[in-house]
Amino acid sequence: MFGKKRARRNGLVLDPAPDSAPPVESRSAAQELAQVSAERAEDSFADFQRAVLQDNISLCDIKAGVLLAFSGALVVFCLDASFGGEKPAGIAFDLPTALMLASAAGFFLSCHLALLCVAPRVHVRGRDHLYWGSPVFRTSGDKFVAAMRKMKPMAEHEEKLRHVHGLASICRRKFRYLDLAIRAGLLGFLLLMASELTRAIAPHA
Protein backbone atom coordinates (compact mmCIF):
# COMPACT_ATOMS: atom_id res chain seq x y z
CA MET A 1 0.00 0.00 0.00
CA PHE A 2 2.84 2.40 0.87
CA GLY A 3 4.47 1.43 -2.45
CA LYS A 4 1.38 2.48 -4.40
CA LYS A 5 1.21 5.86 -2.62
CA ARG A 6 4.91 6.44 -3.24
CA ALA A 7 4.39 5.57 -6.95
CA ARG A 8 1.52 8.08 -7.23
CA ARG A 9 3.70 10.82 -5.67
CA ASN A 10 6.49 10.03 -8.13
CA GLY A 11 4.11 10.32 -11.08
CA LEU A 12 4.10 6.61 -11.94
CA VAL A 13 0.98 4.87 -13.29
CA LEU A 14 0.34 1.36 -12.11
CA ASP A 15 -1.44 -1.25 -14.27
CA PRO A 16 -5.12 -1.63 -13.49
CA ALA A 17 -6.32 -4.63 -11.64
CA PRO A 18 -7.06 -7.68 -13.82
CA ASP A 19 -10.77 -7.56 -12.98
CA SER A 20 -11.18 -3.92 -14.01
CA ALA A 21 -13.35 -3.14 -17.11
CA PRO A 22 -11.55 -2.36 -20.39
CA PRO A 23 -11.70 1.18 -21.70
CA VAL A 24 -14.55 2.25 -23.96
CA GLU A 25 -12.20 2.66 -26.94
CA SER A 26 -11.18 -1.02 -26.74
CA ARG A 27 -14.78 -2.22 -26.71
CA SER A 28 -15.74 -0.09 -29.75
CA ALA A 29 -12.67 -1.28 -31.66
CA ALA A 30 -13.59 -4.89 -30.92
CA GLN A 31 -17.14 -4.28 -32.13
CA GLU A 32 -15.88 -2.74 -35.34
CA LEU A 33 -13.56 -5.66 -35.90
CA ALA A 34 -16.41 -8.11 -35.35
CA GLN A 35 -18.60 -6.17 -37.79
CA VAL A 36 -15.87 -6.19 -40.44
CA SER A 37 -15.40 -9.95 -39.97
CA ALA A 38 -19.15 -10.52 -40.35
CA GLU A 39 -19.28 -8.42 -43.52
CA ARG A 40 -16.36 -10.34 -45.00
CA ALA A 41 -18.13 -13.61 -44.23
CA GLU A 42 -21.28 -12.33 -45.93
CA ASP A 43 -19.23 -11.24 -48.97
CA SER A 44 -17.62 -14.68 -49.15
CA PHE A 45 -21.02 -16.38 -49.08
CA ALA A 46 -22.35 -13.96 -51.72
CA ASP A 47 -19.37 -14.84 -53.92
CA PHE A 48 -20.16 -18.52 -53.43
CA GLN A 49 -23.82 -17.93 -54.33
CA ARG A 50 -22.81 -16.07 -57.47
CA ALA A 51 -20.46 -18.89 -58.53
CA VAL A 52 -23.20 -21.51 -58.03
CA LEU A 53 -25.73 -19.48 -60.03
CA GLN A 54 -23.24 -18.86 -62.84
CA ASP A 55 -22.50 -22.60 -63.03
CA ASN A 56 -26.22 -23.38 -63.25
CA ILE A 57 -26.73 -20.76 -65.95
CA SER A 58 -23.81 -22.11 -68.00
CA LEU A 59 -25.09 -25.68 -67.63
CA CYS A 60 -28.59 -24.61 -68.69
CA ASP A 61 -27.23 -22.81 -71.76
CA ILE A 62 -25.20 -25.87 -72.79
CA LYS A 63 -28.22 -28.17 -72.50
CA ALA A 64 -30.39 -25.72 -74.41
CA GLY A 65 -27.77 -25.44 -77.15
CA VAL A 66 -27.63 -29.23 -77.59
CA LEU A 67 -31.43 -29.41 -77.63
CA LEU A 68 -31.59 -26.58 -80.17
CA ALA A 69 -29.25 -28.42 -82.56
CA PHE A 70 -31.16 -31.70 -82.14
CA SER A 71 -34.61 -30.16 -82.61
CA GLY A 72 -33.48 -28.02 -85.54
CA ALA A 73 -32.14 -31.08 -87.39
CA LEU A 74 -35.38 -32.98 -86.79
CA VAL A 75 -37.47 -30.05 -88.05
CA VAL A 76 -35.60 -30.24 -91.36
CA PHE A 77 -36.00 -34.04 -91.40
CA CYS A 78 -39.76 -33.89 -90.76
CA LEU A 79 -40.34 -31.23 -93.41
CA ASP A 80 -38.24 -33.11 -95.94
CA ALA A 81 -40.13 -36.33 -95.19
CA SER A 82 -43.45 -34.51 -95.62
CA PHE A 83 -42.73 -32.46 -98.77
CA GLY A 84 -39.54 -33.96 -100.17
CA GLY A 85 -41.29 -36.53 -102.37
CA GLU A 86 -43.62 -35.71 -105.21
CA LYS A 87 -47.28 -35.95 -104.21
CA PRO A 88 -50.16 -36.14 -106.65
CA ALA A 89 -52.14 -32.93 -106.87
CA GLY A 90 -55.57 -32.86 -105.33
CA ILE A 91 -54.94 -35.69 -102.86
CA ALA A 92 -55.26 -34.87 -99.17
CA PHE A 93 -52.46 -35.64 -96.75
CA ASP A 94 -52.56 -39.08 -95.19
CA LEU A 95 -52.26 -39.80 -91.48
CA PRO A 96 -48.48 -40.42 -91.45
CA THR A 97 -47.88 -37.08 -93.18
CA ALA A 98 -50.18 -35.26 -90.77
CA LEU A 99 -48.35 -36.79 -87.80
CA MET A 100 -45.01 -35.87 -89.39
CA LEU A 101 -46.09 -32.24 -89.76
CA ALA A 102 -47.30 -32.21 -86.15
CA SER A 103 -43.92 -33.58 -85.14
CA ALA A 104 -42.20 -30.80 -87.09
CA ALA A 105 -44.34 -28.26 -85.24
CA GLY A 106 -43.34 -29.77 -81.89
CA PHE A 107 -39.65 -29.65 -82.74
CA PHE A 108 -40.02 -26.10 -84.05
CA LEU A 109 -41.59 -25.07 -80.74
CA SER A 110 -38.71 -26.75 -78.93
CA CYS A 111 -36.25 -24.71 -81.03
CA HIS A 112 -38.10 -21.51 -80.20
CA LEU A 113 -38.07 -22.20 -76.45
CA ALA A 114 -34.40 -23.23 -76.54
CA LEU A 115 -33.54 -19.96 -78.27
CA LEU A 116 -35.41 -18.05 -75.56
CA CYS A 117 -33.36 -19.96 -73.01
CA VAL A 118 -29.95 -19.13 -74.50
CA ALA A 119 -30.85 -15.56 -75.41
CA PRO A 120 -28.91 -12.97 -73.35
CA ARG A 121 -30.84 -11.77 -70.32
CA VAL A 122 -30.01 -8.74 -68.23
CA HIS A 123 -31.60 -8.02 -64.87
CA VAL A 124 -31.20 -4.31 -64.22
CA ARG A 125 -32.06 -2.60 -60.95
CA GLY A 126 -31.41 1.08 -61.39
CA ARG A 127 -27.90 2.52 -61.62
CA ASP A 128 -25.56 -0.08 -60.21
CA HIS A 129 -21.84 -0.68 -60.63
CA LEU A 130 -22.07 -4.30 -61.86
CA TYR A 131 -24.26 -4.19 -64.97
CA TRP A 132 -22.02 -3.65 -68.03
CA GLY A 133 -24.54 -1.23 -69.53
CA SER A 134 -24.66 1.00 -66.47
CA PRO A 135 -23.86 4.70 -67.08
CA VAL A 136 -20.84 4.48 -64.77
CA PHE A 137 -19.07 2.24 -67.32
CA ARG A 138 -19.70 4.71 -70.13
CA THR A 139 -17.57 7.41 -68.56
CA SER A 140 -13.82 7.81 -68.79
CA GLY A 141 -11.47 5.58 -66.84
CA ASP A 142 -10.60 8.32 -64.36
CA LYS A 143 -14.26 9.09 -63.63
CA PHE A 144 -15.01 5.41 -63.21
CA VAL A 145 -12.17 4.98 -60.70
CA ALA A 146 -13.31 8.09 -58.82
CA ALA A 147 -16.88 6.79 -58.66
CA MET A 148 -15.74 3.42 -57.37
CA ARG A 149 -13.59 5.02 -54.66
CA LYS A 150 -16.57 6.98 -53.40
CA MET A 151 -18.54 3.82 -52.74
CA LYS A 152 -18.84 2.65 -49.16
CA PRO A 153 -18.24 -1.00 -48.24
CA MET A 154 -21.88 -1.46 -47.23
CA ALA A 155 -23.08 -0.08 -50.58
CA GLU A 156 -20.76 -2.46 -52.41
CA HIS A 157 -22.11 -5.37 -50.39
CA GLU A 158 -25.72 -4.40 -51.08
CA GLU A 159 -25.08 -4.16 -54.82
CA LYS A 160 -23.46 -7.58 -54.77
CA LEU A 161 -26.51 -9.05 -53.04
CA ARG A 162 -28.84 -7.42 -55.58
CA HIS A 163 -26.68 -8.85 -58.36
CA VAL A 164 -26.98 -12.33 -56.86
CA HIS A 165 -30.75 -11.90 -56.61
CA GLY A 166 -30.89 -10.87 -60.28
CA LEU A 167 -28.84 -13.90 -61.32
CA ALA A 168 -31.27 -16.16 -59.46
CA SER A 169 -34.17 -14.61 -61.38
CA ILE A 170 -32.37 -15.16 -64.70
CA CYS A 171 -31.56 -18.75 -63.72
CA ARG A 172 -35.21 -19.50 -62.91
CA ARG A 173 -36.40 -18.17 -66.27
CA LYS A 174 -33.75 -20.09 -68.19
CA PHE A 175 -34.58 -23.41 -66.56
CA ARG A 176 -38.30 -22.80 -67.06
CA TYR A 177 -37.74 -22.30 -70.81
CA LEU A 178 -35.44 -25.34 -70.90
CA ASP A 179 -38.07 -27.50 -69.22
CA LEU A 180 -40.72 -26.40 -71.74
CA ALA A 181 -38.30 -26.93 -74.64
CA ILE A 182 -37.57 -30.49 -73.47
CA ARG A 183 -41.29 -31.24 -73.17
CA ALA A 184 -41.98 -29.86 -76.66
CA GLY A 185 -39.09 -31.86 -78.10
CA LEU A 186 -40.37 -35.02 -76.39
CA LEU A 187 -43.83 -34.44 -77.86
CA GLY A 188 -42.33 -33.94 -81.31
CA PHE A 189 -40.31 -37.16 -80.94
CA LEU A 190 -43.40 -39.16 -79.92
CA LEU A 191 -45.32 -37.79 -82.91
CA LEU A 192 -42.40 -38.70 -85.17
CA MET A 193 -42.40 -42.28 -83.87
CA ALA A 194 -46.18 -42.45 -84.33
CA SER A 195 -45.80 -41.24 -87.91
CA GLU A 196 -43.15 -43.83 -88.73
CA LEU A 197 -45.16 -46.63 -87.12
CA THR A 198 -48.28 -45.60 -88.98
CA ARG A 199 -46.35 -45.48 -92.24
CA ALA A 200 -44.91 -48.93 -91.58
CA ILE A 201 -48.25 -50.47 -90.63
CA ALA A 202 -50.35 -48.82 -93.39
CA PRO A 203 -49.11 -51.02 -96.30
CA HIS A 204 -49.95 -54.19 -94.34
CA ALA A 205 -53.42 -53.02 -93.26
Query: Who wins on pLDDT, 8 or 54?
Result: 54
3-state SS assignment for residue 74: helix
Provide the percentage of residues in the chain whose pLDDT is more than 70. Answer: 71
Listed residue (81, 70, 146) closest to 108, CA to CA: 70
Neighbouring C-alpha atoms within 13 Å toward the C-beta of 93? 13
- pLDDT of 14 > 60? The answer is no
> Which tens digit of pLDDT belongs to each residue from 139-182?
888 888 888 888 887 888 888 888 888 889 999 999 999 999 99
pLDDT at position 156: 83
Backbone angles phi, psi at 120, to 5 degrees: -60, 135
Report d(CA 108, CA 146) in Å as an integer.
50
The Cα–Cα gap between 82 and 100 comes to 7
Contact 153, 39 (CB under 8 A): yes
Single out the residue of 166, 193, 26 nearest to residue 99, CA to CA. 193
